[in-house]
Copies of this chain bind each other. A is one copy, B any other.
């Protein structure tokens, strides 16, 4: 598949006329990363940004003690690392492939030139960045205003989709990664999952399968209106 086709189906550039896509394709570089390979480092100068073609990556920070806080997972069609391209600041976090992953790399200077020539390229970008901001607002709320059971409940409800009472799903990340996404550690996550099962809120096979048994209970937990004993 050609780069231009990947661009055409990306979040950022879908719907753009062909002239624009061609311009973008002409500055695009395809790169591949293996599972667990680093894509960029916190503090490193940004030279451009990325769009996932296939595979998945995570964006995360690390404390001096080694605790990891995951900020995002991104998959096919999603851009990442765009903000530093506009602020000129260094990357504020790490990026790493969590599967074998192909990406398109868009060099910052060339991209900024394009966008200045054709500012309409900026419109989708505004929407994407705005969505990211909304998402961060949520993360901050969760971290500072909810306890871990509440965060987990919110995650489960979100992952289970908004259907009726009996939705089930499979985690698409390891429990360790989930713990990091929720701003906690695997031990704590494990204990809370156990409690949720005991209280009949969810069912689980001890691995990645989770079935929501009591959606209302989870919602109360997520809203801080209930505790997990």
Contact = CB atoms under 8 A, between A and B. Distances in A.
A92 interface: yes
B87 A144 contact: no
What interface size band does chain A fall in? Answer: 35 or more
A213 interface: no
Contacts of A67: 144-145
A139 to B, nearest CB: 6
A132 B133 contact: yes
Copies of this chain = 2
Contact of A146 (B63, B83, B225): B63
Interface string A134-173: 1011111101111000000000000000000000000000
A208 interface: no
A69 B64 CA distance: 25
Interface string A110-121: 000001101111
Contacts of A144: 61, 67, 69, 143, 183
B134 A133 contact: no
A3 interface: no
A86 B124 CA distance: 9
A129 interface: yes
A115 to B, nearest CB: 7
A133 B115 CA distance: 20
Contacts of A120: 119
A65 interface: yes
Given A63-B146, A143-B143, A133 B123 contact: no
B134 A136 contact: no
Interface of A: 61-65, 67, 69, 71, 82-87, 89, 92-93, 115-116, 118-123, 125-127, 129-134, 136-141, 143-146, 183, 223-225
